[in-house]
Structure 1
Amino acid sequence: MNKKILIVDDDPRNIFALKLTLKARGYTIESCTAAQEALDILKSDPQFSVVLMDMMMPGMDGYEAVKIIKKTAETAHIPVVAVTAQAMPEDRQKCIEAGADDYVSKPIDVDLLITAIEKLS
């Protein structure tokens, strides 16, 4: 089955690099650069296998977006991997408490990311 992943990151360079890596491994990728846009995409199409959510974004951050995804009936089933440059142990805990299903720090270790995606989807 082809897995569909939504990448949410305010830095287009991060999206570009992740898209290339994940498409090369056979995933279908959609992306956006804002949390609110991600919520709109998920509402219109809740058939994503995983969301890769950058936690530090202007406007609505990833923490708030994850809470909304997990509280919304149509999207609560979609696993979210928090992707953040915040790499301290308490940052991981903060991501999990917000509702993220897993956590990968930047710079991204692709093998760790793929493991997280496969485990959740």
Structure 2
Amino acid sequence: MAVNKILIVDDDSRNIFALTAVLKAKGYKCMSAIGGQEGLDILEQDKDITVVLMDMMMPGMDGYEAMHRMSKDPSLKDIPVIAVTAQAMMGDRERCLNAGAVGYISKPINVDELTRLLNDYI
């Protein structure tokens, strides 16, 4: 059986800590990165990552730029990205999906909703 490894990319360590705790309790293996570039570096090195939870609003390389770069890389373009954002305004969901995300979840995260989304891709 493949390991259900999730990469959490978020510039807020509290969000990473909370998501990791919840997901590990549900049997997922988690890795984390504190920015878009670090997330891409981890994806290049670890080919076992099944899904990326990508914070969209980060300093430096944000989630939109990271997803754009993933889409241009043949080895990364098929890894599903779920957009995680505090931006829950009209049009934000569509903007994330148009940028390449397979799903969208707003903060604070509804764990049941996140689990349903993850089950679609794991």
Give the TM-score category using the shorter length: over 0.9
| % identical aligned pairs | 57
> Residue 73 of structure 1 corresponds to which residue in structure 2?
74
Q: 5 Å matches for 1:61-100?
A: 61-100=62-101
In structure 2, how many angstroms separate the alpha carbons of the residues matched to 1:111 and 1:98?
24
Deviation at 1:120, TM superposition (A): 1.7
For 1:20, give the aligned amino acid.
A
Q: Residue 31 of structure 1: SS of its match in structure 2?
A: strand
C-alpha distance in structure 2 between counterparts of 1:79 and 1:96, whole Å? 11
Figure out how many residues of one structure are paired with residues of the other and give that number: 121
Partner AA of 1:82 in structure 2: A
- Paired letter, 2:113: L
Distance 1:102 1:108 in 2: 13
SS in 1 for 2:119: helix
Q: CA deviation at 1:47?
A: 2.0
Q: Could you tell me the TM-score, scaled by structure 1's length? A: 0.97
Instruction: Give the drift of 1:89.
Output: 3.1
CA positional deviation for 1:42: 0.4
Secondary structure at the aligned position of 1:49 is classed as: strand
1:14 aligns with 2:15: yes
What TM-score, normalized by structure 2, do the two folds share?
Answer: 0.96
Q: Please report how far the alpha carbon of residue 69 of structure 1 lies from its aligned counterpart in structure 2 after TM superposition.
A: 1.1
- Give the RMSD, CA atoms, in angstroms: 0.8
Gaps of 5+ in 2: none
CA distance in 1, matches of 2:101, 2:71: 9
Q: Which residue of 2 aligns with 1:45?
A: 46
* Aligned counterpart, 2:103: 102
